[in-house]
Structure 1
Amino acid sequence: MLSEERRNQILEIINHDKIIKIKDITKRFNVSIATVRRDLDILQEQLYIKRVYGGAIPVTPSGTEPLYFTREMENRAEKIAIGKAAAEMVVEGDTIYLDIGTTTQEVGRNLKKMNNITVITSSLTIMTELANSNVTVYSLGGKIRPHELSMSGSIAIHSLEQFCVQKAFIGAAGVTFDEGISDFNYEEAQVRLTAIKRAKQAILVVDSTKFGNNAFARTCSLDYFHTIVTDINVPKKYIDGINDRKINLVTVQPAGGIETS
């Protein structure tokens, strides 16, 4: 089989299944891992796909919200490291809010062995993560977004207004100095803003690819945040701007190293 023909078939699979793993390509086409990586690099250069941990996904049009399971595969190592560093900010006795999203889910995964903490969330995946732990979990309720595995809307906002929160761990689809943080969904942006206002400390947890992008619905300016946790690939202008705004910045290496400024 010619390499171009193989890449065309790989692209068809990705567009149909929405994701493909490197190990599956090697088995299907009987080629080496190095060959598969070259194929995926070429398809990414041609803007057909986006490389993710262990495979690839189709390119999502600008302004369109990617599926949850697709986002979960993106920048996986960075999100794991961010989640671990953010979870270390939680202490016994805390009541915290965990936002929806794949990065905040990693925060939740690192809280399962803790005692005497309370988590408030509208994320179905985080509730599942913490269901068999000693963590007390409160669900906000509201309208279920099945593809996002979350709840939003006026019911979620009203429920959140009944709680006092020490720390709110917040995700975002985009982060810029001009617009602050933003999201693909307006209702979820409003739930997020309510959580930020109810918390003594708002902590933004996002990987570096979110910086420089604006999504559909603006949530708030960066001045609302006490701390930002991201990975070491955050652009320098954002490091400088965050420091100028006197916001605590924690940067992590995918292997788990932490730097603060």
Structure 2
Amino acid sequence: MFQEERLTLILQYLQEKQRIEVDEICGLLGISRDTARRDIIKLEQQGVIVRTRGGAILPPVSKVIPGYEQRMELDAPLKDSIGQLAATLIHDSDYLYVDASTTVRHTIKHMTSKNNCVVTNSLHTAEALTRKDDVHIHMLGGIMSNEHRFVYGPRAIQMLDDYRIEKAFLGACGIASDGLSTSFEDECYLIRHVIHMAEQVILVTDHSKFGKKLFHKVADLSDIDIIVTNQEPDKQLREHLHANEIDIMIAREQDRID
């Protein structure tokens, strides 16, 4: 196995477990401890892990967010199972806000409710909604992010005040004990306003976002009502979520209905 293949497998393990020991790398890849250490050093040089005594962890502050197309292709079946479960929270005549998260887009795919008014800042999510019957779409205006395919800025925030939002379905770049975070500053202001307006805030995210901290804080855990995900967070984060009375709904990929 080439080193690049090993590095990919180590990162995949870290995304799931958050931490890896040298002995675990040896057992996982069938390599020597010296080779495992060289792989850890290589990943540290690339800036994607932090070396610890005897192993490695993911950086506490993430710096790179893939573009929209990359995110759509990443873990699509997993996101689809989460989206399918999240869609069960949408009922007839609900007033909704849905953001540009790719997992939220999978939620829209599984909508079966009728007579919904949906506000969004996402070009692709709005397009997906046009395939649904009896949905009234309200697209925010403002500045378009070409890379991430969403609208932001003062005009978008101002337009939000024209609507009533019962349920906000939001993705997450990072969720940790001190709240939600993102790498895109201007998006923070829009999301904060949505959270302030919504009667219920539903976070739709896969487990890889747990424990991540990005540069810009968006909200506290107390601002969230429900998290729909595919796996329980670790004990520390789970205790913080329970302390803030956040309901956790777990989707199982094998339960997905095609």
Find the residue that maps to 1:165 and give its secondary structure.
coil
Quote how far apart the aligned CAs of 1:206 are.
Answer: 1.1
Q: Which has the higher contact order (CA 8 A, sep 6+)?
A: 2
Match of residue 160 from structure 1: 160
Matches of 1:133 and 1:62 in 2, distance apart? 36
Letter in 2 for 1:185: F
Residues 176, 212 of structure 2: 8 Å contact kept: yes
Contact 2:230 2:252 in 1 (8 A): yes
Q: How does 1:179-190 map to 2 (within 5 A)?
A: 180-190=179-189
Which letter maps to 1:121?
A: T
Asked if 1 retains the 8 angstrom alpha-carbon contact of 2:232 and 2:238, the reply is no
Matched with 1:246 is 245
- 1:244 offset after TM fit, Å? 2.5
Unaligned runs of 5+ in 1: 15-37, 51-60
- Report the counterpart of residue 170 of structure 1 in structure 2: 170
CA drift of 1:73 comes to: 2.3
Give, in whole Å, the separation in 2 of the partners of 1:256 and 1:139.
Answer: 33
**1:90, CA displacement in angstroms?**
0.7
**Cα deviation, residue 147, structure 1:** 1.1
1:229 corresponds in structure 2 to 228
Ranges in structure 2 where 5+ consecutive residues have no aligned partner: 9-28, 30-35, 49-60
TM, length-normalised to structure 2:
0.74
Which residue of structure 1 aligns with residue 69 of structure 2? 69
Amino acid at match of 1:222: L
Report the secondary structure of 2:166's partner residue: strand
Measure, in 2, the Cα distance between the counterparts of 1:185 and 1:126.
19
Match of 2:113 in 1: 114
Alignment of 1:82-97 (within 5 A): 82-97=82-97
CA contact (8 A) 2:90 2:113 kept: no
Q: Specify the alignment match of 2:190 in structure 1.
A: 191
Q: Which residue of 2 aligns with 1:207?
A: 206
Q: Note the alpha carbon deviations across 1:123-153, whole angstroms, 9 max, x for none.
A: 1110111113221111011101111111111
| Percent of aligned pairs with the same amino acid | 27
Matched residue type, 2:239: D
Q: Does the CA contact (< 8 Å) of 2:87 and 2:110 recur in 1?
A: yes
CA-CA distance at 1:235 after TM superposition? 2.0
For the residues of structure 2 that align with 1:224 and 1:63, how far apart are their CA atoms?
24
CA contact (8 A) 1:208 1:235 kept: no
Structure 1 segments, 4+ long, off by >4 Å, are 44-48
Taking structure 1 as the reference length, the TM-score comes to 0.73
Please provide the CA RMSD for this pair.
2.9
Equivalence for 2:103:
103
What secondary structure is seen at the aligned counterpart in 2 of 1:63?
coil
* 1:87 and 1:110 in contact (8 A); partners too: yes
The alpha carbon displacement at 1:256 in A equals 3.0
- Aligned residue for 2:147, secondary structure, equals coil
Distance 1:143 1:115 in 2: 30
Shift of 1:233: 4.8
Q: Which amino acid aligns with 1:252?
A: A
> 1:167: Cα distance to partner?
0.3
Taking the aligned partners of 1:129 and 1:167, their CA distance within structure 2 comes to 18
